[in-house]
Amino acid sequence: MAGGAAPPPHNPPITVSGPVSGAWCGEVTVDGQVTIAQGETLTVCAGSRIIVQGGANATVRVAGTLTIEGTAEAPVAITGQGWAGLQVGGTMQGAHLSIDGAETGLAGLRDSQITLAYTEIRDCGAALSVANGATFDHLQAVGGSSVRITGGLLRLTDSVIDLQRPVNGADCLVFGRGGATIEHSRVTGCHCPLHINQADLPITVTNSILDGASFPVMIANAQAEFHMNHLSGTAADFDDIGGNIQANVTDNYYDGGPPDISSGNPAQFQGSGMYRQDPIPGVGPR
C-alpha cells in the first residue's frame, strides 16, 4: 500500500496442539491444549484470529512468553465456545486483543507477569482471575461473574468492568488478598463494584466511577484511599464487612450529599465530612 507500512505477513490457516513457539500469523485453530513452555516465546501477529476448539478441555497455557502484536487497525482475536481460557503462569504482553467464549477469559497464575493495553474480554463465565497482579490500560471486561484478585497489585487505567447485572448481580472485583491501583476507570453493573474481604497491599481508587450497585464498596482488613471518585449505591456507599479498616475517603462525590457509611465504627473512614456536592469533571475512562 503506497505511502503506508506493509501489512503483517499471514500464513495459510493451520491447526496446532501441544507445545508451541515462534509466530502465529493469520488464522490458527487450537485443537485442545497448547503450551508455551518456560524459555519459549510465541508471538501473535496483528490481525490474527485464534479459534480454540475442544470445549472445557481446551486451553492456551503460558509458562514462557506470549506477545500479542495487535493494532487498532488489525486487532488479534482469541475465540471459542466453552473453552477453558488463557492460563498464564509466565509473561503475557501486548495490545489490541479480544477474548471471548471462555470459562475464564484470562487467568493470571501465581508467577504471572501480565501487561496488556486495549483488551476486550466478553461472553466468558468470568473475564479474569488474578493471583499475581496485572496491568491493564483500556481494558473492557463485560459480563460474566466476579473478577477475583488473590495476590499482587491489579492496575487498571481507563478501563471498564461491567458485569451487566446492576444492584442484584455478583460482586465485580472480589479481593481475597493483593491490592489495586484504579485510575480513570468505571466498575459497574453488579451488587458491589469493590468487595474487599482482605487486602495485603494498598488499594487506591482515583478519578473513577463505582456505580450500578447496591454497595459501591464493601470492605474489611484493608488500607485504602478513595479520592475524586463518583460513588453511587442503592444501600450504602461504604459497607464495613469485618472491621480492621484504614480508609481515607476525602473529596468524592456521592450523588450530592455526604457518604452513607454502614459501620459500627465509622471513624475507620477518614475524611467522610469532606465531599463534593457537584459532579467532578473528567471522572471515569478517558
Convert the chain into a string of H (helix), E (strand) and C (coil): CCCCCCCCCCEEEEEEEEECCEEECEEEEEEEEEEECCCCEEEECCCCEEEEECHHHCEEEECCEEEEECCCCCCEEEEEEEECEEEECCEEEEEEEEEEEECEEEEECCCCEEEEEEEEEECCCEEEEECCCEEEEEEEEECCECEEECCCEEEEECCEEECCCCCCCCCCEEECCCEEEEECCEEECCCCCEEECCCCCCEEEECCEEEEECCCEEECCEEEEEECCEEEECCCCEEECCCCEEEECCCCEECCECCCEECCCHHHEECCCCCECCCCCCCCCC
Structural domain contains residue 270: no
Determine the average pLDDT of the residues in 104-124.
98
Q: How many domains does the chain have?
A: 1
Q: What is the pLDDT of residue 11?
A: 82
Structural domain contains residue 56: yes
Q: Is the pLDDT of residue 4 over 60?
A: no
**CA atoms within a 13 Å half-sphere pointing along the CA-CB vector of 254:** 24
Q: What is the pLDDT of residue 5?
A: 52
Of 185, 249, 244, 169, the C-alpha closest to 217 is: 249
Structural domain contains residue 233: no
Q: Residue 32 is part of which domain span?
A: 24-212
Q: Is the pLDDT of residue 60 over 90?
A: yes
Q: What is the pLDDT of residue 10?
A: 74
Q: Is the pLDDT of residue 6 over 90?
A: no
Determine the average pLDDT of the residues in 62-88.
98
* Location of C-alpha cell 507477569: 113
Of 186, 192, 190, 175, the C-alpha closest to 209 is: 186
Determine the average pLDDT of the residues in 196-201.
98
Structural domain contains residue 236: no
Q: What is the pLDDT of residue 88?
A: 98
Determine the average pLDDT of the residues in 23-45.
98
Q: Which of 7-16, 46-55, 162-171, 189-198 has the lowest mean pLDDT?
A: 7-16
Determine the average pLDDT of the residues in 174-200.
98
Structural domain contains residue 129: yes
Structural domain contains residue 252: no
Of 93, 80, 137, 79, the C-alpha closest to 285 is: 137
Instruction: Tell me the pLDDT tens digit for each residue of 222-241.
Output: 999 999 999 999 999 999 99
Q: What is the pLDDT of residue 1?
A: 40
Structural domain contains residue 261: no
Determine the average pLDDT of the residues in 104-112.
98
Determine the average pLDDT of the residues in 42-65.
97
Structural domain contains residue 169: yes
Instruction: Tell me the pLDDT tens digit for each residue of 154-171.
Output: 999 999 999 999 999 999
Q: Is the pLDDT of residue 8 over 70?
A: no
